[in-house]
Amino acid sequence: MIEFPKGLIKDNETIEAAALRELKEETGYEGKVIRVNPFLATCAYLMNEMSSIVEIEVDESRMGDTNCEEAEEIIPFWVDKRKFNREMERFQDNNYIVESNVWFYLKR
């Protein structure tokens, strides 16, 4: 699965803090929040789950250690937005599933 870092917002945590925490835990990167997009339904007719894409400015040359949960098997990597179409071919050729949020964000 090709997807953005994600997770739940903990009690008394802001969406910005949750996004930065998940980024660090799942990728080892740190950053600065530059935009919080609105919460949108992921599948309104089946469940009440909502999600938001938080855009973060990250220095890809600075990566620390990850702190993934035991069940998570995450391999962080960069995709250059300008090369996304070519990368999509590689993902599909290798039977990866690309999350819709990733596809729509990188295609804009």
| Chain segment 42-93, per-residue pLDDT in tens | 777 788 888 899 999 998 777 777 877 777 788 888 888 888 888 888 888 8
Give the span between the Cα atoms of 84 and 42, in whole angstroms: 23
CATH class of the domain comprising 15-107: alpha beta
pLDDT at 92: 80
Q: Where are the domains of the chain?
A: 15-107
Q: 68 near 76, Cβ under 8 Å?
A: no
Q: Is the pLDDT reported for residue 107 higher than 80?
A: no
pTM of the predicted protein model: 0.81
Query: 88, 89, 90, 108: which is closest to 99 by C-alpha?
Result: 88
Q: Where are the alpha helices (DSSP H) in the chain?
A: 15-27, 84-93, 100-107
